[in-house]
Structures are given as C-alpha cells and as structure tokens.
A = this chain, B = another copy of it.
Amino acid sequence: MAFKVIKTDGRARRGVLETVHGTVQTPLFMNVGTSAAIKGGVAPDDLKQIGCQVELSNTYHLHVRPGEDLVYKCGGLQGFMNWDRPILTDSGGFQVFSLAAIRSIKEEGVHFNSHIDGAKIFMSPEISMQIQSKLASTIAMAFDECPSSVADKSYIKQSCDRTYRWLERCKTEMARLNGLDETINKNQMLFGIGQGGVYTDLRKEHMKRVSDLDLDGYAIGGLAVGETNEVMYDVVSEVEPYMPVEKPRYLMGVGTPVDILECVERGVDMFDCVMPSRNARHGNLFTSYGHINLNNNKYFWDDGPIDPECDCPVCRTYSKAYIRHLFKAREMLPMRLCVIHNLYFYNKLMADIREAIEQGRFAEFKKERVAIYSQRI
C-alpha cells in the first residue's frame, strides 16, 4: 500500500493510491452512502457505471443501525453492500458532535444519546477503531473532536490537544486490530485528521504534530461548517505546506464543484460531500453549462437530456420533460436518475481535473470551469 504523486501542476497533484481493494486515481471524489447505500435508490452496480472509485460510509450511522456486528457477519461493508472497490469510513466523530445529543466529552471518550432512539452510547478512539475494523473499510478515519470552526480559540486549542492524544490511541488500536486473526481487512489504513477551526496558527501547529505520527493519509477536518468559502480556501492554503507531500490529503465534507477546483489548486487530493446526491433528489442538477433546477416550468416541454454534453446513462436515455413529470407525480425514479447524473458529473469532473493536471494546464482549466459552474441558468 502506497501513495505516489505522479505529476504536479502548481500545487495541484495527480496521484495514485494503492489499496488492498484496488488502485485509486487522485484527485478523487468519494460518493457518499451514509448507511451503506447511496440515497435515492442508487445501487452499487449503478455506481460502477458512473465511474465511482471510492464509496464512503458513516461509522456513527452504521453503529446505531444495524450495528457493526451484522456488517462483520456479512463480510464487512464490501460484502454487506456488494461493493468490491475501496470504501472509506469516517470515524463517527463528526456525527457524534453534530447529530447526537452529547452528554459529556471526557479524556476517555464521548458519552452521547443516539439520534434514532435516544440510547446511551459511549464512543472512544479505541471503540471507533474497533467498529471500523468490523466494518472492514479500506480506509478508517481517526476519531476526533469536531468543535464549531468558529468556537473560542482557547477551546479549540484544548480540543486540538485532546484530538492529538486520541489520534495516538487510534494508531495504537488500529495496529492491534490489524494484527488479529479475526480481522477481515488486516491492511486497513488509518488517516489522521488535523483540526484548529478558523485559526491558522492552531491549524498549522496541529497538522505538524499529527504529521509526525506517520499515518497512511491526512485529512483537514472541521471545515465547510458555516465559515465563508474564502476562509475555508485560506485555511487550506495555509495548512497544506504542513501536510506530508508523500501522503494523500483529504478535505472532509467538501464541496461544490468550485470548492473542489479551488482546493485541488491548493494541493488537496480527496473530497466527499452529500451535496450532489442531496441536490439531485430535489431536481437541482449540475450541467456542463451551469446549475439547473428541473422543477422549473420552462422544462415542461423540454424533450432534450439534462445535459447534451453529458455521457451518463441518464442523459443518454431520458428527457428533462420525462424526469420533471416524474418529480411532479411524486415517483421515486426521478430521484434515482438525478442522483446518478449528479454523481456522474462529479466523477467526470475529477477525471477532467486529473487529465488537466497530467497535461500541465490545470490553472487554465480551473479558471474556465469556475466561470461556468458559478452560473445558475
């Protein structure tokens, strides 16, 4: 297992990540299937058709329902959901701090109540690693505290220190788990997460410390949670020089096509976001000429595809008029079709980004695409 940067273009990187479940080309967008399924009725075989390289599932959601023991019994997430390519699991940290009712954060871990049934749950670095080991994902994420990015600086500082101590515990526990006979994926990778809110000095210091732990990859966490885009881009710019060049860099929960272009330019390799699938379910679609909403009356008679430039299975088959009608008729099919289209759009954008970097024309490519994607037509 290794990551290799095969070409750089400015700070943008074209990389290859070898994993036990196959090779991944970066920059990369991971397609989000929270509870071990993509929303909108999209199945794993659909994902393959639209160029998805890595599926992402949520440890918190799977822990509260159905529980990691069932997933383990079914052969890990790959067996459970019938997806044989790489999977990244988050650590549960973000959801514990955003969805659940927190009871207390202690050095040992976090006591909270499930958002499903209020059940008391305790999660710690060790427990998060144990759950992710049973989920048997390709890449596990460290269990971190995710305070508001604009929280008080002294709180963020304290929180960063604890997240660092938790990361050391994650690393130790993951090494132990990978050595057990009963572990499904004994080559499970662990990515560390740098925090620090909007405070670039804390961000740099924290990233520097976590980098010393020599993990399989590094993430920037706790962004895209309310700060402006400019602040987010600045934080990425400032922290990037402190991320090891020989490891993949993952910006968690980001973002729009413009965000992705801006952050690839700043040296990020991996992204994930629920936005393309969530937007799709409401008829909000990305196209090669800008953002459209299919519910608009002007598409009633439009028998052309969502995007004439798009080669996705939906654009090659169905008309805007048909899909719009199905939304109005409250059918499920239009959600599936639109999620497939939007995820194809994202996966194709990443392929185009990779090509532009390979050809040393990323800056120009980025400028052109940002201009198009900023339009709503």
Contacts and interface: CB of A to CB of B under 8 A. Distances in A.
Interface of A: 35-43, 45, 61, 65-66, 70, 73-74, 80-82, 300-301, 303, 317-319, 321-322, 325-326, 328-329, 331-333, 335-337
A333 B74 contact: no
Given A35-B325, A325-B65, A326-B37, A333 B70 contact: no
A23 to B, nearest CB: 24
B37 A70 contact: no
Residues of A contacting B: mostly: loop
Nearest to A316: B82
Given A41-B41, A70-B301, A73-B303, A332 B336 contact: yes
A329 B61 contact: yes
21 contacts: A35-B331, A37-B333, A38-B333, A40-B41, A41-B41, A41-B333, A41-B335, A42-B333, A43-B333, A65-B325, A66-B328, A70-B301, A70-B325, A73-B301, A74-B321, A74-B322, A80-B319, A82-B318, A82-B322, A332-B332, A332-B335
Given A73-B301, A74-B303, A82-B318, A37 B335 contact: no
A38 B337 CA distance: 13
Contacts of A74: 303, 319, 321-322
